[in-house]
């Protein structure tokens, strides 16, 4: 009878107060509700929280773990801490896409001119268009390989230029650099850092750098850490977009990469280097 009274008067009295006055156990009350097939207020709150966490997890395309999801949920008005969100993910068996190791693609066995390393692992920039980094990776489809090259502005980690092709040629690298220059309104004096791949040492690529008064910079041979930001982007792309998926054609891959770069990455993907803001949000907040 005590538990019936507590159930019927939850809207009027605090459960803790009723339990004290009636000399009843709150844990016993919750167990009694469970036996009756009813959820306690705490269980109801947990179920509602799990629903919101699941919705945020799926909205992020199952790419985010607790740190980024906590920020997404906070923006939506739910001020749960990281530990609470992590517990909800664990309770629901939700895990962000797992990491994998990927092979390098650089072909530095050539006799073309090599630029000095001007970047020297200094991955921060005080303003946009001070330091850009570029790299090339490969993506597999049932039609064969597709190569992707990108240009990233280290100020906000914005992906300002990119290109895709069935062949890993100098034109692939040139097209990405031309896109970056066009989007950023042809700024001058930028350090453009890449590896020593033949595409970046080609005469065509060097001519674009020279014509636009850009400063070429290249990593030491065999040292991926000198271009860690570009490597990190490719790692995230493959883990979050490609790993575990099946791409029938190169066009299907191109469409997926376009959506990931132009819609998800630049506009919405939170980046730790930006204080967990997306590249567009970071530039908008700091350049207004």
Chain segment 217-246, per-residue pLDDT in tens: 998 776 656 678 888 899 889 888 888 788
Q: What is the pTM for the complete model shown?
A: 0.72
pLDDT for 110 beyond 70: no
Nearest partner of 222 among 109, 102, 121, judged by Cα = 109
Chain segment 189-210, per-residue pLDDT in tens: 999 999 989 999 999 999 999 9
Hey, what are 287's tokens? Answer: 């350049």
Query: What's the number of CA atoms in the CB half-sphere (13 Å) around residue 162?
Result: 22
Residue spans of alpha helices (H) in 76-188:
82-92, 170-183
Q: What is the pLDDT of residue 102?
A: 46
The set of residues, in sequence order, having a beta carbon less than 8 Å from that of 235 and lying 6+ positions away, is 99, 102
Dihedral, CA atoms, 177, 180, 181, 184, nearest 10 degrees?
A: -170
Chain segment 12-62, per-residue pLDDT in tens: 788 888 888 888 888 888 878 777 765 667 777 888 888 888 888 888 878
Q: 103 vs 13, which has greater pLDDT? A: 13
pLDDT for 138 beyond 50: yes
Crossing angle, helix 66-75 and helix 82-92, to 10 degrees? 110
């Amino acid at each position: 009878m005590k538990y019936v009274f507590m159930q019927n008067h939850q809207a009027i009295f605090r459960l803790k107060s009723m339990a004290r006055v009636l000399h009843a156990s709150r844990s016993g009350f919750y167990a009694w509700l469970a036996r009756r097939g009813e959820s306690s207020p705490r269980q109801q709150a947990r179920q509602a929280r799990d629903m919101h966490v699941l919705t945020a997890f799926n909205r992020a395309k199952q790419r985010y773990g607790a740190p980024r999801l906590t920020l997404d949920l906070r923006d939506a008005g739910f001020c749960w801490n990281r530990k609470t969100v992590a517990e909800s993910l664990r309770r629901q068996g939700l895990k962000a896409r797992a990491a994998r190791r990927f092979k390098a693609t650089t072909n530095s066995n050539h006799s073309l001119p090599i630029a000095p390393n001007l970047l020297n692992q200094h991955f921060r920039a005080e303003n946009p268009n001070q330091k850009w980094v570029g790299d090339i990776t490969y993506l597999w489809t049932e039609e064969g390989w597709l190569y992707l090259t990108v240009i990233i502005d280290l100020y906000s980690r914005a992906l300002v230029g990119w290109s895709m092709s069935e062949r890993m040629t100098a034109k692939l690298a040139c097209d990405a650099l031309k896109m970056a220059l066009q989007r950023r309104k042809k700024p001058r004096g930028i350090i453009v850092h890449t590896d020593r791949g033949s595409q970046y040492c080609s005469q065509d690529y060097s001519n674009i750098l020279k014509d636009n008064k850009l400063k070429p910079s290249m990593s030491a041979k065999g040292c991926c850490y000198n271009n860690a930001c570009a490597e990190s982007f490719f790692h995230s792309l493959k883990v979050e977009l490609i790993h575990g998926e099946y791409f029938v054609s190169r066009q299907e891959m191109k469409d997926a990469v376009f959506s990931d770069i132009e819609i998800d990455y630049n506009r919405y993907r939170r980046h730790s280097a930006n204080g967990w803001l997306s590249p567009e949000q970071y530039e908008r907040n700091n350049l207004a």
